[in-house]
Amino acid sequence: MRILLIEDDTILGAAVHDQIVGDGHSVDWVFRLDAAGDAMAGAGYDLVLLDLMLPDGRGIGFLKTLRNRGDVTPVIILTALDQVSDRIEGLNAGADDYLVKPFDLSELSARIGSVARRYTGNPNPIIAHGALDIDLAARSIHSAGKPIPLTAREWALFEALLARPGQLLSKAQLEDKLYSFGAEIESNTIEVHVSRLRKKLGAGVIQTERGLGYRLGQS
């Protein structure tokens, strides 16, 4: 997933960033709400991690603005505000989850996975696709009981296709999933990763619509 982290605490932000990158997600990290607005205007995100007390305003107002304009991007609030009234306000504003600081980073990973599964319409973290057994929570794939290791970029692409079965994703949409991994996106990056995924998972796992994009193959 591509995740937007909105957090002005540099120590906590770095820890959260490293945790979710280690989980195989791509992350854009901003410190202010105006920067968050610019980021969301220029890219598509699968999830937002939102602090409530930021230098240029309260995250609640930012969240309400998102929801009022019809943006349904999942949002998990990360905050030190721990009163029941704060939780109710956050959830009523449209948050999908509310995590009080300090929190265990492994719990954050679990909550990210839980929200992602709800939005893909699949509450079961383990799904079967043809001969593949895919554990969404552990971000692992097995075939005939044997693990198939994927790089973070390969998983990001496969997860994007898996979340939208039957839907055609353009090259630009898939490139968008990779921009936060640090390395430059070359013109043939998607083709290279799709080729590697086919070698690892099977030739039919990803279908190409020439000139249009890619979709998950039939199981």
* pLDDT per position as a tens digit, 4-17: 999 999 999 999 99
Q: Inform me whether the pLDDT recorded for 202 exceeds 80.
A: yes
User: If you average pLDDT over residues 74-89, what whole number do you get?
Assistant: 94
* pLDDT per position as a tens digit, 178-190: 876 665 678 889 9
Contact at 8 Å (CB) between 174 and 190? yes
* pLDDT score for 126: 75
Residue entry with tokens 């990290």: 29
Judged by DSSP in three states, 132 sits in strand
Residue 6: its H or E element: strand 2-6
Q: How far is the C-alpha of 70 from the C-alpha of 68, rounded, in Å?
A: 5
Q: How confident is the model at residue 120 (pLDDT cuts 50, 70, 90)?
A: low
Give the burial class of 188: count Cβ atoms within 10 A of its Cβ; 0-12 exposed, 13-18 middle, 19 or more buried. Answer: exposed
* pLDDT per position as a tens digit, 42-74: 888 889 999 999 999 999 999 999 999 888 889
User: If you average pLDDT over residues 144-167, what whole number do you get?
Assistant: 87
The four Cα atoms 68, 1, 7, 115 give a dihedral, to 10 degrees, of: 60
Q: Closest by alpha carbon to 132, among 120, 121, 145?
A: 145
Strands (DSSP E) contained in 9-159 are: 26-30, 47-50, 53-54, 57-58, 75-79, 97-100, 126-129, 132-135, 140-143, 146-147
* pLDDT per position as a tens digit, 123-154: 556 778 888 998 877 788 999 889 999 988 89
Q: How confident is the model at residue 122 (pLDDT cuts 50, 70, 90)?
A: low
Q: What is the mean pLDDT of the chain?
A: 89
Q: How far is the C-alpha of 176 from the C-alpha of 157, rounded, in Å?
A: 10
Tokens read off for 144: 């005939």
User: If you average pLDDT over residues 99-120, what whole number do you get?
Assistant: 88
Strands 75-79 and 146-147: unpaired
The domains located in the chain, with CATH, are: 2-119 (3.40.50.2300), 126-216 (1.10.10.10)
Higher pLDDT, 153 or 196: 196
**For the chain, percent of residues with pLDDT exceeding 90:** 61
* pLDDT score for 135: 84
Q: Inform me whether the pLDDT recorded for 198 exceeds 80.
A: yes
Cβ-defined contacts of 122-131 (< 8 Å, 24+)? 127/162, 128/219, 129/162, 129/205, 129/216, 129/219, 130/202, 130/204, 130/205, 130/217, 130/218, 130/219, 131/202
